[in-house]
Amino acid sequence: MNKLIEIKNVRHTYQTQNGPLPVLDGLNVSVPEGGFAAVVGPSGCGKSTLTRLIAGLMKPDEGEVWLHGERVKGPRSTVGMAFQNPVLLEWRTILQNVVLPLEIVPTKLNRKQQEDRARYLLSLVGLDGFEDKRPSELSGGMRQRASLCRALVHSPDVLILDEPFGALDAFTREDLWQTMHQVKEKEPFTGVLITHDLRESIFLADQVIVLSGRPARTQFLLDVPNTGRRTLDDLYTVQATEMLHTLRHQIEIAQGRAAA
């Protein structure tokens, strides 16, 4: 299958006040078009660094990042990003926040078409009726839904989600997981999800990449079968439990708490 994201043998060291800090040391990630990869690994191992490399916001010291058969050499407008903090602009309405990337990235859409696109996405995530509210009038889960719409509004090739549900309570998070499946059916994307939640990783992704402790390398890959829409009940099957056990064990290895 066509590989949309390819990260080949990436190594990177930050130069800090306390000297060099090697962060990535032999990272290999490959996501086919339409695939959805979850990345899990110990805190501080280099996951957000990986997202910046894919978005072209920084260059690795060594190795290569490819998107759609093109070497990434600078920031890419064809990448959509959402973070744990939805960073919506308080002086703009929800609709205006979602439209924002279309004002920055060149688009053929006129103003009305831009707003229609934003309205459509907001309805897809259950936010119809909230278009004219300000961010502070929405709950944390709703703000995160709006942030997701903003990340998708310019139909990016790649959607990068860096712990987007990490600050939400468990039930809100599960609602958002289901919304993600609905969104992906209607607005197909190739995704990379950074998460600390192993259940989230197998609920949403079709492959889970476990990174080692810093400096991170690709330690383990898990293919998640039945990539279609999942239900929360699927998380309680024997198969899911086995996958979660495997991942938990890999995380303990990555944390240096268990032998490989």
Residue nearer to ligand ADP on the CB measure, 44 or 140? 44
* Alpha carbons 70 and 80: distance in angstroms, whole number: 17
**16: partner contacted, choices ligand ADP, Mg ion, none (Cβ within 5-8 A by kind):** ligand ADP
Cα distance between residue 155 and residue 215, in whole Å: 33
**Alpha-carbon span 201 to 191, nearest angstrom:** 12
Q: Which is nearer to ligand ADP, 53 or 222 (CB)?
A: 53
DSSP characters for 139-195?
-HHHHHHHHHHHHHTT--SEEEEESTTTTS-HHHHHHHHHHHHHHHHHS--EEEEE-
Measured from each CB, the residue nearest to Mg ion is 48
Task: Please identify, using beta-carbon distances, which residue of 51 and 219 lies nearer to Mg ion.
Answer: 51
Task: Please give the residue ranges that form the binding site for Mg ion (CB under 5 A).
Answer: 47-48
Hey, CA dihedral for 142, 124, 224, 158, is it positive or negative?
negative
Identity of the residue, 9 or 13, whose beta carbon is nearer to ligand ADP in the bound complex: 13
If binding is defined by CB under 6 A, does position 256 make contact with ligand ADP?
no
Q: Which of residues 23-62 bind ligand ADP (CB under 6 A)?
A: 23, 43-49
Cβ-based neighbour number of residue 13 at 10 Å? 16
Pattern of binders to ligand ADP over 1-20, x per CB under 6 A? -------------x-x----
Under the rule (CB under 6 A), what is the footprint of ligand ADP? Answer: 14, 16, 21, 23, 43-49
